[in-house]
Amino acid sequence: MAANADSPRLRRSEVPLEALTPPPWLRWPPETSRDRDGDLARGRGVAAYRRPDPRHVDTLLPLRGEPRPGVPETSRLGEDHAPPAGTSRLSSPERPAPPDGIWRARGADESTRAIEEPVPARVPAGSYRPPPPPGASHPSGSPASGAAPAPSVVGTGKPKLLDQVREALRLRHYSDRTEKAYVQWVRRFIFFHGVRHPAEMGKEQVAAFLSHLASVRHVTASTQNQALCALIFLYVAVLRMNIGIIEGIVRAKRPQRLPVVLTPEEVREVFRFLEGQVLLLCRILYGSGMRLLEGLRMRVKDVDFARHEITVRNGKGEKDRVTMLPTSCAAALRAHLGRVHELLHQADFARGLGRAALPYALARKYRNADCEWGWQYVFPASGYYRDRESGLHHRHHLHETIIQREVKAAARRAGVTKLATPHVFRHSFATELIRAGYDIRTVQELLGHQDVSTTMIYVHVLNRGGRGVQSPADRL
């Protein structure tokens, strides 16, 4: 049964206005309204999101419009409307308190609203006249000479500043995580200087903010550099201002760190306390050197069982590469895909669903590609989310926090005192290849490093090269 590409929509005129008015705790910030890399479950799928169980892939969530116990109907409907006259934006007698464990309350700070909402254009004094009441005409039949017409309510002001930042980032195809980080740094910069517009400030205010981060907040060098890049992007790409060379910045010192590496015995002990698709994913990460999100975004078409290869799509820096599929994981991965195809994809197809989000504009170019088995995620989530733009229900991949919590708990139960995270499996993969004597260039290509100097750090972890000396204490 083929899924219908067009989801039925309910016209606004068919829904009462009070049913369209969401409670204040449903007003999510605009930066979480777009999805392309995996943060959609926290933004778009508010009404249908639930933390999935990594051990049961056949658990389905109620879809949009289906009744849920304890959740009012108005909290599952759509668009933001202004509160009735005479009521507060935060609370009103008609809006009940949020149910425990379902909605998270959010404050509505006036200063936050000041930078999120557009500023109306100023009207010269004495030139504005209120519009006549409905049905009435101007006394002279036309507006007075020299009097400006009443400002329109819709479509008059410029886009919001933060929306301009988001639009500039999306035009340049920055990642969603970069967009979220840059918007957050612009907001913090505005609040640091008393909610002043960045166009009224310059390099002195930027230098003061960056120095405050290093000397007072004690942030790392990479965090301070990220804030600097965000502010430079704001002034150059959004405001079109040349602030010149920023001088007098207190720069945080960049430390020289070595990656955490687990021995094969420690990896084996951690795997003993993992199960299900979490164990399978961690084995693939350890055997292929992929990053966590690269493994979670892996689709069925990216796995080549005949050549024992995995194609990594849109890796760091939007670069593709090919890495190895561990032979020991091939049979388990094939069985896992068979269960996902039978228990989830076929069942979703029977319900008119079975769609996966496609990158960029592929959903418009290939109308039914999101229903094909090859585009489905290898490690799907147990629930759905509703795309705010298209109105379709999609099944996303597992959220990265699920894998991180499971690995941390397994390392604690296994007695591993090192800081074990899913990314540590990538470090351990590179270290074991160099220990086995493989060429450093081969390891660089498998890891996807742009510079070989980044890969050389694993040589220092093994204490080889010029530092591979024998301790005098070992010769006693």
What tokens were used for 11?
A: 């016209």
Which pTM value belongs to this model?
0.62
Q: What is the CATH number of domain 161-238?
A: 1.10.150.130
Q: Count the neighbouring beta carbons within 10 Å of the beta carbon of residue 258.
A: 10
Give the C-alpha separation, 125 to 139, whole Å.
21
User: Facing residues of 310 across strands?
Assistant: 303, 323
Q: Is 291 a catalytic residue?
A: yes
Q: Is 254 a catalytic residue?
A: no
Q: How far is CA 298 from CA 112, 184, 383, in A?
A: 38, 29, 18
Long-range pairs for 318-326 at CB < 8 Å and ≥24 separation? 318/173, 318/175, 319/448, 321/445, 321/446, 321/448, 323/288, 323/289, 323/290, 323/446, 324/287, 324/288, 324/446, 325/284, 325/287, 325/288, 326/283, 326/284, 326/287, 326/288
Q: Is 460 a catalytic residue?
A: no
Packing angle of the helix pair 422-435, 440-447 (nearest 10 deg): 160
Q: Is 27 a catalytic residue?
A: no
What tokens were used for 58?
A: 């056949």
Domain 258-467 has CATH 1.10.443.10: yes
Q: Is 197 a catalytic residue?
A: no
The bridge status of strand 303-304 relative to strand 385-386 is unpaired
For the chain, the first-to-last Cα distance in angstroms comes to 76
| Cα angle 311, 384, 105; round to 5 | 120
Exactly one of 291, 299, 395, 397 is catalytic; name it.
291
Give me the DSSP letters along 408-455: HHHHHHHT--S---HHHHHHHHHHHHHHTT--HHHHHHHHT-SSHHHH
Give the C-alpha separation, 390 to 4, whole Å.
13
Longest Cα–Cα distance in the chain: 109
What tokens were used for 457?
A: 């750090």
pLDDT truncated to tens, each residue of the chain (476 aa)?
444 444 444 444 444 444 444 444 334 444 433 444 444 434 333 333 344 444 444 433 333 444 444 444 443 333 344 444 544 444 444 444 444 433 333 433 444 444 444 444 444 444 444 455 555 444 444 444 444 444 444 444 578 899 999 999 999 989 888 999 999 999 999 999 999 999 999 889 999 999 999 999 999 899 999 999 999 999 999 999 988 888 777 777 778 888 999 999 999 999 999 999 999 999 999 999 999 999 999 999 999 999 999 999 988 888 899 999 999 999 999 999 999 999 889 888 888 888 898 888 888 888 888 889 999 999 999 888 888 878 888 899 999 999 999 999 999 999 999 999 999 999 999 999 999 889 999 999 999 998 998 898 888 777 654 455 667 777 77
Give the C-alpha separation, 137 to 153, whole Å.
20
In this structure, the dihedral spanned by the alpha carbons of residues 330, 37, 315 and 333, taken in order and rounded to 10 degrees, is: 0
In this structure, the dihedral spanned by the alpha carbons of residues 156, 77, 398 and 104, taken in order and rounded to 10 degrees, is: 90
Please tell me what DSSP assigns to residue 328. Answer: H
Give the C-alpha separation, 15 to 112, whole Å.
31
Q: Is 394 a catalytic residue?
A: no
Exactly one of 42, 203, 405, 449 is catalytic; name it.
449
Exactly one of 129, 321, 423, 435 is catalytic; name it.
423
Exactly one of 187, 396, 426, 427 is catalytic; name it.
426
Cβ–Cβ < 8 Å for 60, 393: no
Give the C-alpha separation, 18 to 344, whole Å.
37
Exactly one of 49, 182, 286, 458 is catalytic; name it.
458
What tokens were used for 132?
A: 């006549």
Residue range(s) occupied by CATH 1.10.443.10 in the chain = 258-467
Exactly one of 64, 188, 203, 316 is catalytic; name it.
316
Phi (first) and psi of residue 471, to 5 degrees: -70, 140
